[in-house]
Amino acid sequence: MLGVALSFFAFGRIEKAAAARRHTFVVIDSANDLLSKLKDAETSQRGYLLTGDKAFLELYLAVRYDIGGSLDKLRRSASIRAADKYLDAMAPLIAAKLAELSSVIELRRKQNLAAVIAVVRGGRGKREMDSIRTEMSGFIQIEERALAQRDADFQSDMRLMLSIIMVASVFALLLAIFFVYLIYREAQQRLENLVQIETQRSLEIQKEANTQLQKANAKAEELNKFKSSLVSVVSHEVGNALSVMTLAMILLEEKLPPEWLKDSDRLFNMIRTNIDALTMAVQNLLNMGHLEAGKLAIHPKPTDAAEILRSVLKCMELLCEKKALRVSLELPDDLQRVRADQASLTLVISNLLSNAIKYTPENGLIVLGIEAKNSHPGYYRIYVKDTGIGVSEEERAKILGGHYRSENGKKMTLKGFGIGLSLAQQIVEAHGSTIEIDGGLGKGSRFSFLLSISS
C-alpha cells in the first residue's frame, strides 16, 4: 500500500510539472505572436507606402488596436516575475514603433514622398524593431531557463521517489512471502507432532487404539485443510499485492515523459525482476498445496516441448542478462511432440531453469535441450545443464524431497523455500518418470527426465 500511495503522489507531481511546461510554452508562443504582429504591421505599412492603396492598412490598424491587449496578456501570463523588466522596457519601444509607423503613413497620405524616403533611410524604424526583438529575446530566455530548472528539480525528485517505491514494494512483498512460509512450516510441524503423539498413545493404550487413531486422522485432515486454505488465501493476497504493484508500475511508465523514462529504465527493470521472482515463489507454494490436497490435475496430450523450452527461456532472459549468463538450446532434427500436460511441463522447466540461474556464478553457461537415446526408444530426455555449484550425491534425494536446500546453495542465495524441485519431481512422477541429477560439487549439474513420444 505504501508503494501505491507513493505512486499516486508521483502522478500528482507529474501532472503539475506537465501543466507548468504547457503554460511556459503558451507564454513563449504568445511572445513570438506579439513579435509576429509587429512584423505584420510593418509589412502592412510598406505595402501602403509602395502602392498608396489603403487596403494594405487594414492589417496595420488591426495590430495597432490589438497590440496593447496582447502585451497586457503576456504580462499577466508570465510565470517568472524577473521577466517583467523586459516587458516594462518593451512597452515604450512598442509605443514608439507604432508612432513611427503612424507618422510615415501620414506623410504618405499627404503625398510627401521625399519626407517618407528620408524617414525610411534614417533607419529609425529598424532600430526600434531591433530593440524590441532584443528585449523579447531576454524575456523568452528567462522563461526557458526557469523551465529547464523545474525539469531538473523534478527529475531529481522522481529518481528518489522511484527508488523509495521500489525498496518499499520489494521489502513489503518479501515480508509477506516470509510470513506465508513461517505459517506453512508451523502448520506442517504441528501436523507431524500431532500424528506422532496420537500414534504413540494408540500403541500404549491398546483398547483405545482405533478410537485414538481416528481422532488423530480427523485432526490431521483438519490441519491439512487449514494449511492448504491458509496457503491459498495468503498466496491470493500476495498475488493481489503483486498485481497492484505491476499496475502502479505500468501507470507510472505511461505517465512519465519519454525523456525522463530513459533515465528510469534500470529501476523499472529491477522492479520487474523482483516481481517475477516473487510471483514464481507464490505459484510454487500454491501448486505444492494443490498437489498435497490432490487438486492439481495432470492431463497429458501431444505437446511441443521445444516451444515450451523457448517460451520459458524468453521469460527469464532478463535474469540471465543480469548475471551475464550464456544460454543455449540443443534440439534434435525432426523433433516430434511428447505426451505431457503443457501447463505442468512449463512449471517444471521454469523451476529447473530458475534454479540453474540462481546457482550458476556470473559468466557461466546454461544449456536447455532435448535428446533421443537408443537406450530409451520411444522417449525423449529433456534436460537443463549448468556450470553452477553442483549437488553432492548425499543431497540429491533430499533436495527432491522438499523443504531442503544445500549448504552451498544457501551461501549463493538466501531466497527460496526448497519446494520448487519437490513440486517438479511430483509433476514428473505424475507423467510416469522421475528427475535424474548428474554432476558433482564444483562440476555443475544436469537435471533431466524422460517423456514419451506422442504417437
pLDDT digits (tens, 9 = 90+) for 352-370: 999 899 999 999 999 999 9
Domain at 301-452, CATH homologous superfamily: Histidine kinase-like ATPase, C-terminal domain (3.30.565.10)
What's domain 155-292's architecture?
Answer: Orthogonal Bundle (1.10)
pLDDT of residue 350: 92
Provide the residue ranges of all domains of the chain, joining segments of one domain with +.
Answer: 16-154, 155-292, 301-452
* Mean pLDDT along residues 338-345: 92
Fold of 16-154: Four Helix Bundle (Hemerythrin (Met), subunit A) (1.20.120)
pLDDT digits (tens, 9 = 90+) for 64-119: 888 888 888 888 877 677 778 888 888 888 888 888 888 888 888 888 888 888 87
* Mean pLDDT along residues 26-48: 85
pLDDT of residue 75: 82
Q: Note the pTM of the prediction, 2 decimals.
A: 0.45
Count of CB atoms within 10 A of residue 152's CB?
10
pLDDT of residue 385: 96
pLDDT of residue 417: 45
